Amino acid sequence: MNDILNFSNVNCKNCYKCIRECPVKAIKIENDKAYIVEELCIGCGTCFKACPQDSKKMMSDLGQVKEYIRLGYKVIASVAPSSVADLENMNYKKFVAALKKIGFYKVEETIVGAKIVTEEYEKYVKNNKQQLYISSCCPTTNYLITKYHENVIKYLMPIDSPMIAHGKYLKKVYGEDVKVVFIGPCISKKYESLDQDSFGVIDKVISIQECINLIKDIDIQNIEENEFDNKPLGNISLFPVEEGMDFHMENITKIKVSGMENVKNLIKSIENNELSNMFIELNACMGSCVGGIGFKHDRGIHYRKNKVKEYTLDRTLDEEYLNEIRGVFKNLELKKEFKHYGIKFDTPTEYEIREILVSIGKKTVKDELNCGACGYDTCKDKAIAVYRNLAQRHMCMGYMKDRVEAVSNVIFQATPNYIVIVSHDFKIIDINDAMANVIKKKRDQLIGEYIGDYIDINYFIDVLYNKNDIISKKLKWKEYNKDIKASIISLNEHRALLGIYIDITKEENQKNTIKEVKLNTINTAQDVINNQMRVAQEIASLLGETTAETKVVLTQLKELAMKGEEED
């Protein structure tokens, strides 16, 4: 199978919903991203529909179809009868006209092939006596059986599907060089068109939604209506609804099963030899083809089923046209051989499974929750997927939760900070050992106690009623002789308050010591300055007295000297 469906790694968010929905677990998780494993895939498109992140991507043939038309090929549309179920407010005649407008050479209904396939089924049942017969019109159920249920392959009708039969008919009538494009809601038809034994019969496959995009620029309201190029073939147009296959088979029970879970359950019954003498119509989509993935799915299955029924009321059988078709099919080979794909899985031993389970915390059977969050039905199934490199060990939600909680608990207990969680009535929900040691009680004894008996709750009250968290508020625990930097945060979702206290007593003591040293230094410096000033003043005073005395003596000497000169 080719890479028709896959996921965008950009949007994949590890939700594992694609694995949960995949009926055969054909999804691989690698580097936390989902990938479709083509050899395991059955082309149902369930993952495409289920992805909540819009991460899926589908290979589109729109570009090639446009190129066929541009290059002048005769492009013929084979339109599945289920298409009329939802053409987005457009009747089928407008739809046909729009296809012709953009360049389709012919537009026919796939019921041309469905009618002949039905008759081939009747012939086969009449001429081949066996216990069970399973319709082979649905590619997905065919892949499910041929890949995973080898013992059931023998019951598949060895006849081409209506799409392949119609493709062979169109190339017989219009020439081998025409390009046949199948239009329908079935994504699995993209895979079927590429099967080795039918390759080249259907050149391209586009879904209803892709086709709507192809004709979106056509003025639908003002376009002239057209009929299909084939003529009506009666109630065969009911083929896409669950009860649509109208077979004429005597002495045999006909049952119809749709939806993957119902199909899988039916196959299990076959493998258990619980059924016999039955013709079984299997359809992967719930409600049959009208539940196809290729619809936009704004409307429900029952709406689409009723639209097909309404359409069929106007499709009376044209016997002459039917005989013309039969004449063409006489020269066509519609046999199909179904073979086992030979998928082989490495099977782990019980010891290897147990080793994987133990590595993700599943040490005993009681630890195996089988919750399905990882996408697998049981923990053992997930372990087997890990062994086959389809899953990663950490995909277990319970395991990851336990790991996170374990790490959180280590941090909660190992931190030197004091932590307490209290309820809105200020009862202790949890407290770490560091804070319990300050209070001088055991942690278990403090759970449920009133926090106000041990520390001031004014800040808790402030946060609870004023709705403003407190961050890094300095306060004093006088009763414990500690300086604290407190942060109190409201945990609204849990109706609780979280208190985180950083002990800054040592830092505060250091600050106080440094402050005291500074003050002592300042005081000492001031004393030195004062002493220096006093000494300076004393020296100045002494100097002043000495200078005065010297001045008196010198004045007297001067006077004596002057007097001596006069006498001489």
The arithmetic mean of pLDDT across residues 414-419, rounded, is 87
Q: Residue 438: left if φ>0, alpha if ψ -120 to 50, beta else—which one?
A: alpha
Q: Which stretches within 388-457 are classed as H helix?
A: 397-414, 433-439, 443-446
Start-end of CATH 3.30.450.20 domains in the chain = 416-503
Which range, 156-170, 342-356, 499-513, 534-548, has the best average confidence (pLDDT)? 156-170
CATH class of 1-59: alpha beta
To 5 degrees, how large is the angle CA 516–CA 518–CA 520?
70
Residue keyed to tokens 């409307």: 299
CATH class of 60-329: alpha beta
pLDDT number for residue 327: 96
Start-end of CATH 3.30.70.20 domains in the chain = 1-59
pLDDT number for residue 276: 94
Task: Judge whether 203 and 147 are in contact, CB under 8 Å.
Answer: no
Q: Choose the weakest-confidence range: 217-231, 236-250, 481-495, 499-513.
A: 236-250
pLDDT number for residue 568: 46
541 vs 277: which has the higher pLDDT: 277
Task: Judge whether 191 and 142 are in contact, CB under 8 Å.
Answer: no
- In this model, does residue 524 exceed pLDDT 80? no
Q: By C-alpha distance, which of 369, 376, 191, 395 is closest to 293?
A: 191
- 96 Cβ contact list (under 8 Å, min separation 6): 79, 107, 225, 226, 227, 228
- In this model, does residue 245 exceed pLDDT 70? no
Start-end of CATH 3.40.50.1780 domains in the chain = 60-329
pLDDT number for residue 495: 84
The arithmetic mean of pLDDT across residues 37-52, rounded, is 89
pLDDT number for residue 550: 57
* Identity of the residue numbered 190: K
Distance (Å, rounded) from C-alpha 116 to C-alpha 160?
A: 10
The pLDDT tens digits of the residues spanning 131-147 come to 999 999 999 999 999 99
What CATH superfamily is the domain 416-503? PAS domain (3.30.450.20)
Q: By C-alpha distance, which of 24, 55, 28 is closest to 41?
A: 24
Which range, 84-88, 111-115, 440-444, 517-521, has the best average confidence (pLDDT)? 111-115
Packed helices 260-271 and 139-148: angle between N→C axes, nearest 10 degrees: 40
pLDDT number for residue 243: 67
Q: Reduced to 3 states, what is the DSSP secondary structure of residue 152?
A: helix
The pLDDT tens digits of the residues spanning 496-514 come to 899 999 999 988 888 878 8
